[in-house]
Amino acid sequence: MSEFDLEQVDHLLSTTRAVRKRLDLERDVPRELLMDCIRIATQAPAGGNYQKWRWVMVDDPDLKMVIADAYRRSYAPYIERQRSAVADKAPDNSTLGKIMSSSDYLAEILEQVPVLAIPCSLGSPADAGPDPQGWWGSVLPAVWSYMLAARARGLGTAWTTLHLGYADEVGEALGIPSTITQLACVPTAYYTGDTFRPGKRRPAEEITYWNQWKNTTV
Ligand SMILES: Cc1cc2nc3c(=O)[nH]c(=O)nc-3n(C[C@H](O)[C@H](O)[C@H](O)COP(=O)(O)O)c2cc1C
C-alpha cells in the first residue's frame, strides 16, 4: 500500500497546467507562501547535489515591466511564425487557437502578474563540457517542483522562456551577473476558478519503447 493518496498526487501531477487567463491579477501572493514553494523545489535532484539553482523573485512593478517588455519583444515575432505555421498546416485549429489566445493574453498582462519568478543557475551549460544534459537536468526539475508546489497551494504558474532572448537586459535590471544563466520566467499568482483538467497528451503506450526503439509491444 502506498503512503500517498494517489488520487490526490496524480491529480496534482496531471492538472498542473500553464495558467494564463486564470491568473488572479488582483490578489497579492504572500512572500512566505512563495518561500514554501522554493523550499519544496530545493528537494529536486541535482547532479553531485551541487544545488546551483538560485531564484530571483520579482514583485517590484518597474522590474516586472522590464521583463514584460523583453517578453513582448520576443513574443511578437514568435507568435507571428506560429500563426503562419498553423495557417499552413491547420492540424488541430481549435486547440492551437486556444493556446494562442491564452498566450496572447499572458503577453499583454505579464507585468500585472503579482510575481515573476526567474529561476537561475550558477554558471552555464558550456561549463559542463561533454555533459550539458547533466547541467540542464540539475536545474530544470526544481522549476517543475516549484510549479507543482505552487499548484498545491492554490497558485497558478506557467513555464515561459521568451524573455530569454533579452536575458542580458533583464539580468542587468535585476543585478544578475553575466556568469549566471536565467532558466525561465514563471509568472505566479493565485488562480481563479476551482480546478484544472488533465491536458491533451499522446498516449504513454505510443511513446514508450521496450528494449528496442519503436518496439511498443508491452
Ligand atoms: C521550455 C518551455 C518553454 C515555454 N515557453 C512558454 C512561453 O514563453 N510562453 C508561454 O505562454 N508558454 C510557454 N510554455 C508553456 C507551454 O506552452 C505549455 O506547457 C503547453 O502549451 C502545454 O500546456 P499545458 O502545460 O497547460 O498542458 C513553455 C513551456 C516549456 C516547457
Dihedral sign from CA coordinates of 92, 207, 17, 14: positive
Ligand 1, atom 16: closest residue by C-alpha: 18
Q: Which residues contact 87 (CB under 8 A, 6 or more apart)?
A: none
Using the atom order of ligand 1, give the atom closest to the CA of residue 200.
Answer: 27
Looking up cell 498566450, which residue turns up? Answer: 103
Q: Per-residue pLDDT tens for 61-110?
A: 999 999 999 999 999 999 999 888 877 776 556 778 888 999 999 999 99
Picking from 76, 70, 79, 74, the residue whose alpha carbon sits closest to that of residue 100 is 79
Ligand 1, atom 12: closest residue by C-alpha: 160
pLDDT above 90 covers a percentage of the chain that reads 90
Q: Hey, what domains does the chain have and what are their CATH numbers? A: 6-207 (3.40.109.10)
Model pTM score: 0.96
Cα 143 to averaged position of ligand 1 atoms, centre (Å): 13
**How many angstroms separate the first and last alpha carbons of the chain?**
25
Using the atom order of ligand 1, give the atom closest to the CA of residue 163.
Answer: 8
- Give yes or no for a contact between 20 and 103, defined as CB atoms under 8 angstroms apart: yes
Is the pLDDT confidence value at 34 over 80? yes
Residue ranges around ligand 1 (CB below 6 Å):
17-18, 99, 103, 106, 158-162, 199
